[in-house]
Amino acid sequence: MTSVELNKTTLPSVDDLQARAREALAAIFERPVDTELGEPGGPGVHASTPITGEALFTLVETTAQEARAAITAAAEAFTVWRTTPAPVRGALVARLGELLIEHKEDLACLVTIEAGKITSEALGEVQEMIDVCQFAVGLSRQLYGRTIASERPGHRLMETWHPLGVVGVITAFNFPVAVWAWNSAIALVCGDTVVWKPSELTPLTAMACQALLERAARDVDAPPALSHLLLGGRDIGEQLVDDPRVALVSATGSVRMGQQVGPRVAQRFGKVLLELGGNNAAIVTPSADLDLAVRGIVFAAAGTAGQRCTTLRRVIAHTSVADTLIERIAGAYRSLPVGDPSTDGTLVGPLIHETAYRDMVGALEQARADGGEITGGERVDVGGDAGAGAFYVNPAVVRMPSQTPIVHDETFAPILYVVTYETLEEAIALNNAVPQGLSSAIFTTDIREAERFMAADGSDCGIANVNIGTSGAEIGGAFGGEKQTGGGRESGSDSWKAYMRRATNTVNYSSELPLAQGVKFG
Ligand code: NAD
């Protein structure tokens, strides 16, 4: 890719970004945080920013011994928390939600600095945390099981739900705070305790979340050891994976990570909840409202610089609309402001690091070799020398002759492949032809096509939308996907059941002892 100068803006200085992060953290911790934030460059966990590609601070890394101690403390706290009434547990999460409202801007500022999200999306991510806290508070009074008709007279058959234990949460860089909240808010009202290993790329936001939860626990007199933070890389995550005291490992990240974590947790018969990569498609039919489709597609494909698990990566367009659609998407892409994500008006921030940029270049080279026609995708020179270590790109739209192997990969960058179809059966087959199964959409005004897409032989994804894009899910539904996406469900609906264990109870309140299935014994 050639480097071009577009939407040139001035990037903030590293001093400015450090000052912003310090200020946000101090507001959240209610004190200066100088002891926590070491000079950049020393040994430890490196907090850096994709805005300029520079290191900001060095933080103390959690040792293996400290990680073990955290799991021990969480296991001990569980013995108290599991018998604390669920609505009382809900009061902790209610307080956390209030603190998140109070510190929404502070936390969003840290998300922008560490993950490079534009301010509006960073605020949206914190709003998602607030929403899931409110959902979890309601849930704390609704953890109900069923009563089932018994086949025996004088008997009651029922199911009860009980807390599971310590939940190990492993999270990815691109949703540095919301995914922790999805897991923690629900796990805590379910009576579990939490040990969190965030992405090594977003340690500041993690410290901030942990501080808010500790404050909430103090405010409502909940045990302080309910929640722990482990700062470090994969090794520390592996301790959660292998420790038999961790009842559930909820891991969000790449398929590669899931392939390592899943079998290891299964080996010790632990429970696992996997939220892995996606390769999400939208079908655009001849009857689609193209204005709506273009808006939905551009947000889903270029938002968060293509770094959402639900990012739209493929458009499957009917041959009759493909040319117009590509032209309109490419036109919209040309007007998207790329640059400093903390500046008003920017819609596309940076890629997370150089490797992400190299992956994008490699994928585009392969697509071109496969016959793809590429529009966009150039590196954008933002801020001259100041931005030398930062990677800003124009989103790319690539018309492909077919879904070649590169289209089957999740390249975590803003590349939108477009392929064409003739029949709806063909379009659905293309939608389902990739190994991942997270999100999907159809743009149509034909109810038959919409229903067919959502039917048992339609989209095979965990999310199947009509006339909206693939990203931006609400917390009220269960979130997750099939196939290599891992099969987990988080957030709303009945996802809480993954954080609890179920007991079936049969109570005999008669003076007889009839056996099930009419069995006679003596
Ligand atoms: P990643 O897989 O590189 O890292 C994710 C987390 O896993 C990090 O905390 C990392 O330290 C940890 N990790 C990696 N290997 C591990 C191991 N063997 N044992 C224990 N922990 C390990 O992912 P990333 O680059 O941070 O995030 C991007 C990926 O995450 C994309 O594939 C994206 O689609 C996916 N993602 C999925 C969802 C979802 O809900 N399905 C949400 C967000 C991101």
Task: Label residues 122-141 b or e (16+ Cβ within 10 Å = b).
Answer: bbbbbbbbbbbbbbbbebbe
Q: Ligand 1 pocket: which of 45, 61, 128, 174 to mutate (most atoms <8 Å of CB)?
A: 174
Q: Is 254 in the pocket of ligand 1 (CB under 6 A)?
A: yes
Q: Is 276 in the pocket of ligand 1 (CB under 6 A)?
A: yes
For ligand 1, atom 26, name the residue with the nearest CA.
172
Question: How far apart are the C-alpha atoms of 273 and 194, rounded to whole Å?
Answer: 14
Question: How far apart are the C-alpha atoms of 330 and 395, rounded to whole Å?
Answer: 9
> How would you class 494 by CB atoms within 10 Å of its CB: exposed for 0-12, middle for 13-18, buried for 19 or more?
exposed
Q: Coil, strand, or helix at residue 16?
A: helix
For ligand 1, the distance from its centroid to the CA atom of residue 328, given in whole angstroms, is: 33
For ligand 1, the distance from its centroid to the CA atom of residue 177, given in whole angstroms, is: 14
Confidence at residue 383, expressed as pLDDT on a 0 to 100 scale: 74
pLDDT in tens, the chain (522 residues): 444 444 445 899 999 999 999 999 999 999 999 999 999 988 999 999 999 999 999 999 999 999 999 999 999 999 999 999 999 999 999 999 999 999 999 999 999 999 999 999 999 999 999 999 999 999 999 999 999 999 999 999 999 999 999 999 999 999 999 999 999 999 999 999 999 999 999 999 999 999 999 999 999 999 999 999 999 999 999 999 999 999 999 999 999 999 999 999 999 999 999 999 999 999 999 999 999 999 999 999 999 999 999 999 999 999 999 999 999 999 999 999 999 999 999 999 999 999 999 999 999 999 999 999 999 999 999 877 667 899 999 999 999 999 999 999 999 999 999 999 999 999 999 999 999 999 999 999 999 999 999 999 999 999 999 999 999 899 999 999 999 999 999 999 999 999 999 999 999 999 999 999 999 998
For ligand 1, the distance from its centroid to the CA atom of residue 329, given in whole angstroms, is: 30
Confidence at residue 6, expressed as pLDDT on a 0 to 100 scale: 40
Catalytic residue among 54, 275, 378, 490: 275
Nearest CA among 438, 440, 441 for reference residue 485? 438
For ligand 1, atom 24, name the residue with the nearest CA.
172
Nearest-atom number in ligand 1 for the CA of 479 is 40
Nearest-atom number in ligand 1 for the CA of 255 is 32
Q: Ligand 1 pocket: which of 132, 169, 170 to mutate (most atoms <8 Å of CB)?
A: 170
Q: Ligand 1 pocket: which of 177, 183, 197, 234 to mutate (most atoms <8 Å of CB)?
A: 234
Q: Is 485 in the pocket of ligand 1 (CB under 6 A)?
A: yes
Domain boundaries, the chain: 58-276+486-504, 280-474
Q: Ligand 1 pocket: which of 199, 257, 351, 357 to mutate (most atoms <8 Å of CB)?
A: 257
For ligand 1, the distance from its centroid to the CA atom of residue 305, given in whole angstroms, is: 17
8 Å CB contact between 195 and 168: yes
Q: Which helix (H) or strand (E) holds 284?
A: strand 280-284
For ligand 1, atom 23, name the residue with the nearest CA.
253
Which CATH number fits the domain 58-276+486-504, given the four candidates 3.30.1370.100, 3.40.605.10, 3.30.2020.30, 3.50.50.60?
A: 3.40.605.10
* DSSP β-ladder status, 439-443 and 280-284: parallel
Confidence at residue 490, expressed as pLDDT on a 0 to 100 scale: 97
Question: How far apart are the C-alpha atoms of 138 and 134, rounded to whole Å?
Answer: 7
Please indicate whether residue 54 is annotated as part of the active site.
Answer: no
Q: Is 113 in the pocket of ligand 1 (CB under 6 A)?
A: no
Please indicate whether residue 102 is annotated as part of the active site.
Answer: no
Q: Coil, strand, or helix at residue 177?
A: coil
Catalytic residue among 109, 133, 209, 309: 309
Nearest CA among 128, 120, 77, 74 for reference residue 100? 128
Distances in whole angstroms, Cα of residue 236 to Cα of each of 11, 70, 458: 34, 12, 40
8 Å CB contact between 101 and 127: no
Nearest-atom number in ligand 1 for the CA of 277 is 34
Within its chain, how far is the Cα of 28 from the centroid? 23
158: left (phi over 0), alpha (psi -120 to 50) or beta: beta
Can you name the CATH fold of 280-474? Aldehyde Dehydrogenase; Chain A, domain 2 (3.40.309)
What is the layout of strands, in order, in the sheet containing 392-393?
3-4, 379-380, 392-393
Question: How far apart are the C-alpha atoms of 195 and 169, rounded to whole Å?
Answer: 6
For ligand 1, the distance from its centroid to the CA atom of residue 277, given in whole angstroms, is: 8
For ligand 1, the distance from its centroid to the CA atom of residue 243, given in whole angstroms, is: 19
For ligand 1, atom 40, name the residue with the nearest CA.
275
